[in-house]
Each structure stands twice: as C-alpha cells, then as structure tokens.
Chain A
C-alpha cells in the first residue's frame, strides 16, 4: 500500500476559521484505460472523510469519483480558536485509510 501523505493548515477566511486538507490519493474513477496495458484501471477513490474538532465529529463527507486527484478539501468551523485540536480521517473503497491530527494555528 502506497503511503498516502496528508497535509493540513488553518487560516482565517471571510471571518471564519478555515481548514484545508490535502490527501495524496489517485482518485481513480474506474473509467480510465491504462495506455500501456489497454486495461481499465479499477476504481480507487476516497469514500469518507471525517473531521473532528476537539474530539467531536463536526463534518462527515462522502465522496464520489468526481473529486480531483489528491483532493484538497476546505471546511469552516464554528467557534474555533488557536490551539483547538483537529483530526481528519479518511477511508477509500479498497479499505485503505489514514488520519492526521493537528491544531488550529492562525499565526
């Protein structure tokens, strides 16, 4: 299993604390054909992303194949402040999963 790198950052945007998450993932639709082998590339994409804010799940997201490769997702929080704990977890259709923890850092 390939190593799926994740990155997150927080910033103030339009008066809200915004979290941006990048997950390195191929997001294969299952419709693409491999040019070398002429075989259909099987679908492989993230299906679920959840975001926890101070241990409480605040966002649950279901994804389809139409989300771009290496998804960059943005969410905004209610009542978030510096130092708040964040955790983002994902899982895909092939049973892979990953998570990343961080804190709100608006400096």
Chain B
C-alpha cells in the first residue's frame, strides 16, 4: 500500500532531476532564433543600443545606401507615421525598425527569408527622433536612419 506512492514519488523526482540537469547543460535552452519567438528583452529595452544588442548579440552596424527608408520628414500625426523600408541587399534575413526616442525603441522585427526584403507599416512616435532600420544580410548588420520631426500639438506645422 505505502510502497506505490513512494515509488511514484521517487520516479517523479528522478525525472524532474533529469530535466533540471538537461536545462542546466543547455539542452533545453532554445537557440536564439530571430523572429521565431517574441524577443522580450529586445522589445522591452529602453535604449536603442540595448534593443539592437538584445536582438542580434552585437550593436555594431554599418550604414548602407542600399537600404531605402521612405518616411515623412515631418509627421502630421505622431500616432500614425507611415514608413516603407526596402533593402536592396542580397540574402536579407531580417529587418528591424527602431525609433530612438520612443519609450521602447524597437517597433518591429521582420524575418523575410521567403519574401522580398520589404516592409511597410504605421508607427507611433513619442517625439522628434531618428528612426533606424537595421538589416541583417549575410550575417552582417547594415543600417539606415532618418530624422522625423513630430510637431507637438499636432498642427502639422
């Protein structure tokens, strides 16, 4: 009678122990797969560099003229700023859009391996800021930026 619960208990602890071991040895720790999982650290980051670091493991990026960022120089409505990104680079893996002075700079990360390296979206901007686009192509990071003015009061200036 008393044997069975104890046995189950023992089995349970053994299995649990194995799981902990596996986790500790890095077995169960998922590899960093960009855009496959929602990256909490990157999206929660408060600084531009922190967000890029959390996304790609490095904050170093090279400015590139092959990234076209189409956005207004001045936003008429800071809650709806239209942007369009085209990356004319080979083997583009992902495109990240960041607004430097937003409370959480990272807006979006798009994994476009099966589609054209393009994204359009509307974004919110807290204030006048540089908008960065970071493109990962062939394992390297390339960037483009543009300053967008936000008129407080929303008169469109």
Contact = CB atoms under 8 A, between A and B. Distances in A.
B48 interface: no
Interface residues of B, number: 33
Interface in B108-154: 108-116, 118-125
B104 A75 contact: no
B103 A61 contact: no
Given A66-B106, A74-B121, A76-B116, A60 B36 contact: yes
A61 B79 contact: no
Prevailing SS type, chain A contact patch:
strand
Contact of B115 (A51, A62, A66, A73): A51
B110 A53 contact: no
A51 B115 CA distance: 10
Contacts of A62: 35, 38-39, 43, 108-110
Nearest to B111: A60
Contact of A59 (B102, B105, B114, B124): B114
A64 B114 contact: no
B104 A66 contact: yes
B115 A61 contact: no
B122 A68 contact: yes
Given A60-B36, A62-B109, A63-B108, A72 B121 contact: yes
B38 to A, nearest CB: 5
Interface in A36-70: 47-48, 51, 53, 56-69
Contacts of B62: none
Contacts of B110: 59-62, 75
Contacts of A78: 114-116
Given A71-B122, A76-B116, A64 B106 contact: yes
A89 interface: no
Contacts of B43: 62, 64-65
A99 B10 CA distance: 45
30 contacts: A16-B118, A29-B104, A47-B38, A48-B38, A58-B113, A59-B112, A60-B36, A62-B35, A62-B38, A62-B109, A63-B108, A64-B107, A65-B103, A65-B124, A66-B104, A66-B108, A66-B123, A66-B124, A67-B121, A67-B122, A68-B123, A73-B120, A73-B121, A74-B119, A74-B121, A75-B112, A75-B115, A75-B118, A76-B115, A77-B115
